[in-house]
Amino acid sequence: MHNSLLTREWAEEMDRQDELARFRQEFYVQEGTIYLNGNSLGLMSKRAEASLFTLMESWKHYGIDGWTQGKRPWFFLAEQLRVRLAPLIGAEEHEVIVTGSTTVNIHQLVATFYQPQGNRTKIVADALNFPSDIYALQSQLRLSGFDPDTHLIRIPSADGRCLDEGEIARHLTEEVALVLLPTVLYGSGQRLDVEGLTNLAHERGIVVGWDACHSIGAMPHQFHKWGVDFAVWCSYKYVNGGPGGVGGLFVHEKHLPATPGLAGWFGSDKQRQFDMTHTFVPAEDAGAFQIGTPHVLSMAPLVGSLEMFGEAGIERIRAKSLRLTQYLMDLVDTELAGMGFQIGNPRADEQRGGHVSLIHEEAVRICKALKGEGVVPDYRAPDVIRLAPVALYTSFVEVWEAIKRLKRIMTDKIYEQYSNERGVVA
């Protein structure tokens, strides 16, 4: 990018032209703080707050009858929410359900789709995956009587940041029954070719699932069209559903109806659920994969949040996200040159998720200094600074200002005032 485009004035003009700028006022953005940690926890919106209060009011006024009465009866809330959620992942409504957490949903779907037979007994993941995904896969292998040390194959990374898709392909052998991969790597922000890898896995007789935690709400997906077998995600990052908010799952219609690996009463056919028999009759859609009674108050913020996504449109969100992250990288290249930073994420649009990954040997202290200067980043061991400008509430001027403050931190060595130890929560 030409230096004339790296000024504050250029950023201000971009904000004036931004067709999504109006959504910023919908969020509780703290004055004086530049929040670049939406890939870990999205900010609270006024609509999410309002929808939470609405569900609390129904509890207040209806008591137990809130399950079937009021503006949004709780008994059908998960099915109502999927109407707005399905467009974010490119799915048919009946293939989606709001339920559980990422890890619980991985357990559910692996318990359903991991069916070892003969020599095909192994599961493939990757060496850079979020630990909880790996723990779940290890547990499922043990429950099936297999040793995770020999049956969980983790695709290595040559640089410790990104995956080589050719290396992924090499590990999809005739011994593999199932593969679970991230749509976007949580550390580096690398975006994988979901469609291409799904097709390749299917050509080799392998069931394929995707963890979309770091892509949902930041970019479009076409899980139905691509033939993805199953997928899971959380709601508290780019979807802004609140801390620990209820996640969701996708099961392609070619697998429906299905009997879930882990049955629970909320997966029942809605017309039969209160028969209270000991014969499980699952719903004929993805609702069958629900387990226990839903956490209604944790689902409530999604009502307001998903309404905004419907108005903004995921294609426009992705377009702005790419412009923001490109601008951030251009500023790093020019303003922070020679200061020891390296961009750890792929630069190509089609290979980049929603955040920028900066590598620096002083990452811990730099992150602490950034917070001290009013910029909220995200640290990942051992040397990663994740910066996520989120399309719905981050401005171009904020990106410019954040790098300005980071440059001052490095020039004045402000980071040296901080200890080189991460906190318990990082």
Which residues belong to the annotated binding site for pyridoxal 5'-phosphate? 102-103, 130-133, 211, 214, 236, 265, 293
Interatomic CA distance for residues 301 and 316, integer angstroms: 22
Which two three-digit tokens encode residue 61? Answer: 């006024």
Residue 232: closest CA among 119, 112, 145, 108: 108
On the 0-12 / 13-18 / 19+ scale of CB atoms within 10 A, 135 is middle
Are the beta carbons of 184 and 214 closer than 8 angstroms? yes
Q: Specify binding-site residues.
A: 102-103, 130-133, 211, 214, 236, 265, 293
Interatomic CA distance for residues 106 and 140, integer angstroms: 10
Residue 157: closest CA among 132, 194, 182, 121: 182
Residue 156 CA neighbour count, 13 Å, CB half: 2
CB atoms within 10 A of CB 182: 25
- DSSP character string of 90-123: T--GGGEEE-S-HHHHHHHHHHHH---BTTB-EE
Contacts of 249 (CB under 8 A, 6+ apart): 96, 97, 99, 100, 105, 108, 109, 230, 231, 232, 233, 286, 289
Interatomic CA distance for residues 241 and 298, integer angstroms: 8
Q: Any idea what the Cα angle at residue 80 is, between residues 75 and 83, rounded to 5°?
A: 160
Which two three-digit tokens encode residue 386? Answer: 């994740």
What percent helix, strand, coil does the chain show, rounded to 5?
Answer: 45, 15, 40
Residue 346 backbone dihedrals phi, psi, to 5 degrees: -60, 150
Q: Any idea what the Cα angle at residue 20 is, between residues 16 and 22, rounded to 5°?
A: 75
Are the beta carbons of 174 and 143 closer than 8 angstroms? no
Amino acid present at 306: L
